[in-house]
């Protein structure tokens, strides 16, 4: 049994806050295009989905026309930069968010996924998480989504979920009462309210209502983003699922942390008592077990919501393109690390499924190296607008995966760039490349330490090939590739000097010059 076979956006339109769509007043094109369902799950590890934990997502992967991408990555694996890539179809250097920022609140991206769809005959709706922040008047930045039902998981926002929760429970009841859990806690607790009040249930029920009330006979097509905040912390699944997982045998493989004493994992050991938002350390076997069990229970609860949405989509009998992706993963204690933002597989490798709208080909899997920037670009290609979009925005560098879905190509690139500026600690920031042959090269930019893994033969990165003499040549090849990438991007001497990668001690390079809101 391998259960641990385990996203963001920008410009400032005043938020449209109607619950269900009125027909957009924009002229709609006559181009024939499918309805589109984009499912996003937050902090969902690449190996957390399986027959056992996510039966409904598994079912999606087995539908005709479905492609499961087994080498899908989140280049900048925290919530906001990865959502910037999803919104713009650009790489980190091109969208400019090189690490975490409070929101994707930049209003100046010329092209966003929902805006292009709006302009081409789609009515756009989001249920759940945007993480685009608010305008100065407190309305939500919509980035082109016409209809918003938001649950962003941010304490300071009084979002649509919060308003709904308080309208039922009263103003004095705290939606976060469960277990005193904070937004990045590794601890867990069963949800204290009735299940239908949970943000996961709310997110799927809003999406289902939208599918129920949408006029598919009208002139506009649907773009529905169902964006689950969970399994991101708080790990607060309903009691029935919490009990299901916490009553399993803790020695099952799914609950084992990937820790390899004597390796780089030791550097993340932290003997301080772990605070609720700790990013590194070992809380001991029983606390680790409870954390992982509740995480998987949250995963299964999200899958139930996705099942409801997928059944409703099937009921409509309309043509749908369906995409599932996560914005990043969750370390769950592996390598003595928690949360995300690291180059390692648990954090940067994400699940991705795309179901072609009309293909009747048998389901397949693809090991092509793909990234979150490719999602918007693929959608633009599907609606026949990619050329036009790229003419208007030369910084779009995601690649269309449509040729893979249609069986015309096996791959779209040889390697992809990954990076994150400082997270949690001054010395945690890095650039990486995930290339063919399963290779991942990591440059830890605080101290220049390099790592090299083969994630095909060593999926959990236990063996650092950079330490082995026979891999020095291979290491040099990938180091040189990163040098060339930085030179091509014109990063300048803070990144590469005299053909050598440059170490960086401070946290000044948070955005590239391409970020349009500097």
Nearest distance, CB of residue 159 and ligand NAG, angstroms: 23
User: Quick one: how far is CA 370 from the chain centroid?
Assistant: 13
Inter-residue contact 169 to 194 (CB < 8 Å)? no
Contacts of 201-205 with CB under 8 Å at 24 or more apart are 201/301, 201/305, 202/151, 202/161, 202/164, 202/165, 203/127, 203/128, 203/129, 203/151, 203/161, 203/227, 203/228, 203/229, 203/305, 204/127, 204/228, 204/304, 204/305, 204/306, 204/308, 204/309, 205/308
DSSP 352: E
Nearest distance, CB of residue 96 and ligand NAG, angstroms: 28
Strands of 53-103, DSSP E: 66-73
Residue 226 touching ligand NAG (CB under 6 A) = no
Nearest distance, CB of residue 178 and ligand NAG, angstroms: 11
Residue 184 touching ligand NAG (CB under 6 A) = no
Give the whole-angstrom CA distance, residue 297 versus residue 169: 25
Inter-residue contact 380 to 98 (CB < 8 Å)? no
Q: Which stretch binds ligand NAG (CB under 6 A): 233-241, 274-282, 326-334, 491-499?
A: 274-282
In the shown chain, the binding pattern of residues 163 to 182 toward ligand NAG, with x for contact by CB under 6 A and - for none, equals -----------------x--
Identity of the residue, 358 or 456, whose beta carbon is nearer to ligand NAG in the bound complex: 456
Give the whole-angstrom CA distance, residue 287 versus residue 364: 38
Nearest distance, CB of residue 500 and ligand NAG, angstroms: 23
- Of 44-63, binders to ligand NAG (CB under 6 A) are 55-56
- Figure out which of the listed residues 387, 457, 469, 493 binds ligand NAG, where binding follows CB under 6 A: 457
In the shown chain, the binding pattern of residues 417 to 436 toward ligand NAG, with x for contact by CB under 6 A and - for none, equals --------x-----------
Pull the structure tokens for residue 234: 């708080």
- Figure out which of the listed residues 36, 185, 259, 274 binds ligand NAG, where binding follows CB under 6 A: 274
DSSP 134: B
Inter-residue contact 35 to 319 (CB < 8 Å)? yes
Residue 278 touching ligand NAG (CB under 6 A) = yes
- Figure out which of the listed residues 384, 437, 490, 513 binds ligand NAG, where binding follows CB under 6 A: 437
Nearest distance, CB of residue 465 and ligand NAG, angstroms: 8
Strands of 97-209, DSSP E: 122-128, 147-150
In the shown chain, the binding pattern of residues 108 to 147 toward ligand NAG, with x for contact by CB under 6 A and - for none, equals ----------------------------------------
Nearest distance, CB of residue 340 and ligand NAG, angstroms: 16
Identity of the residue, 213 or 311, whose beta carbon is nearer to ligand NAG in the bound complex: 311
Residue 272 touching ligand NAG (CB under 6 A) = yes
Residue 438 touching ligand NAG (CB under 6 A) = yes
Pull the structure tokens for residue 460: 């959990």
CA angle 479-481-487, nearest 5°? 105
Identity of the residue, 84 or 185, whose beta carbon is nearer to ligand NAG in the bound complex: 185
- Figure out which of the listed residues 308, 327, 334, 381 binds ligand NAG, where binding follows CB under 6 A: 308
**Nearest residue to 148 via CA among 104, 203, 85, 195:** 203
Q: Max alpha carbon distance in the chain (Å)?
A: 65
Please work out the total of residues on this chain that contact ligand NAG, with binding judged by CB under 6 A.
20
Pairing of strands 66-73, 364-371: parallel
In the shown chain, the binding pattern of residues 313 to 342 toward ligand NAG, with x for contact by CB under 6 A and - for none, equals ------------------------------
CB atoms within 10 A of CB 359: 16
Question: Cβ-closest residue to ligand NAG?
Answer: 307
Contacts of 359 (CB under 8 A, 6+ apart): 64, 65, 405, 406
Identity of the residue, 32 or 456, whose beta carbon is nearer to ligand NAG in the bound complex: 456
Q: Which stretch binds ligand NAG (CB under 6 A): 19-27, 28-36, 229-237, 272-280?
A: 272-280
Identity of the residue, 1 or 518, whose beta carbon is nearer to ligand NAG in the bound complex: 1
Nearest distance, CB of residue 68 and ligand NAG, angstroms: 17
Inter-residue contact 421 to 438 (CB < 8 Å)? no
CA angle 172-175-99, nearest 5°? 130
Identity of the residue, 14 or 269, whose beta carbon is nearer to ligand NAG in the bound complex: 269
Residue that the structure tokens 């390598």 belong to? 335
- Figure out which of the listed residues 85, 89, 281, 398 binds ligand NAG, where binding follows CB under 6 A: 281
Residue 307 touching ligand NAG (CB under 6 A) = yes
Strands of 312-470, DSSP E: 320-326, 349-355, 364-371, 415-420, 430-435, 439-444, 449-454
Identity of the residue, 119 or 458, whose beta carbon is nearer to ligand NAG in the bound complex: 458
- Figure out which of the listed residues 376, 439, 475, 501 binds ligand NAG, where binding follows CB under 6 A: 439
Pull the structure tokens for residue 172: 């004095």
Residue 476 touching ligand NAG (CB under 6 A) = no
Give the whole-angstrom CA distance, residue 36 versus residue 56: 18
Nearest distance, CB of residue 271 and ligand NAG, angstroms: 8
What are the residues binding ligand NAG (CB under 6 A)?
Answer: 55-56, 180, 270, 272, 274-275, 278, 280-281, 307-308, 311, 425, 437-439, 454, 456-457
């Amino acid at each position: 049994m391998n259960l641990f076979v385990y996203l963001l956006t920008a410009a400032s339109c005043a938020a449209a806050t109607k619950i269900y769509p009125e027909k957009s007043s924009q002229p709609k094109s006559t181009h024939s295009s499918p309805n589109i369902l984009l499912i996003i799950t937050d902090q969902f590890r690449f190996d957390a989905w399986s027959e056992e934990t996510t039966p409904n997502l598994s079912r999606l992967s087995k539908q005709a026309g479905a492609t499961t991408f087994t080498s899908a990555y989140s280049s900048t694996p925290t919530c906001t930069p990865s959502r910037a890539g999803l919104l713009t179809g650009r790489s980190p250097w091109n969208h400019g968010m090189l690490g975490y920022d409070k929101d994707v609140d930049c209003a100046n991206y010329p092209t966003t996924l929902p805006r292009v769809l709006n302009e081409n005959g789609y009515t756009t709706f989001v249920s759940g998480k945007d993480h685009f922040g608010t305008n100065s008047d407190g309305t939500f930045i919509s980035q082109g989504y016409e209809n918003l039902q938001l649950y962003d998981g941010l304490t300071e926002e009084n979002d649509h979920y919060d308003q709904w929760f308080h309208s039922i429970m009263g103003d004095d009841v705290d939606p976060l009462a469960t277990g005193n859990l904070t937004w990045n806690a590794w601890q867990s607790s069963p949800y204290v309210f009735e299940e239908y009040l949970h943000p996961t249930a709310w997110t799927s029920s809003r999406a289902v209502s939208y599918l129920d009330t949408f006029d598919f006979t009208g002139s506009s097509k649907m773009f529905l983003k169902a964006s689950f905040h969970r399994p991101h912390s708080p790990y607060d699944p309903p009691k029935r699922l919490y009990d299901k997982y916490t009553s399993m045998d803790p020695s099952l493989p799914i609950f084992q942390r990937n820790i390899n004493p004597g390796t780089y994992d030791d550097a993340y050991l932290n003997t301080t008592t772990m605070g609720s938002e700790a990013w590194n350390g070992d809380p001991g076997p029983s606390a680790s077990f409870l954390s992982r069990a509740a995480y998987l229970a949250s995963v299964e609860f999200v899958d139930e919501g996705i099942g409801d949405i997928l059944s409703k989509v099937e009921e409509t009998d309309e043509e749908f393109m369906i995409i599932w992706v996560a914005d990043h993963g969750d370390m769950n204690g592996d390598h003595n690390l928690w949360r995300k933002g690291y180059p390692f597989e648990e954090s940067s490798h994400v699940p991705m499924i795309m179901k072609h709208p009309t293909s009747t080909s048998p389901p397949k899997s693809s090991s092509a190296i793909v990234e979150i920037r490719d999602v918007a670009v693929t959608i633009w290609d599907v609606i026949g607008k990619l050329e036009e979009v790229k003419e208007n925005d030369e910084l779009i560098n995601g690649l269309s995966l449509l040729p893979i879905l249609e069986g015309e190509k096996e791959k779209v690139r040889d390697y992809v760039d990954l990076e994150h500026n400082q997270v949690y600690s001054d010395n945690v920031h890095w650039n990486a490349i995930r290339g063919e042959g399963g290779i991942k090269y990591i440059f830890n930019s605080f101290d220049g330490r390099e790592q090299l893994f083969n994630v095909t033969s060593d999926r959990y990165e236990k063996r650092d090939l950079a330490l082995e003499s026979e891999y020095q040549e291979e290491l040099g090849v990938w180091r040189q590739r990163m040098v060339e990438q930085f030179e091509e991007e014109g990063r300048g001497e803070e990144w590469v000097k005299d053909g050598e990668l440059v170490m960086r001690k401070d946290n000044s390079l948070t955005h590239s010059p391409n970020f349009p809101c500097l």
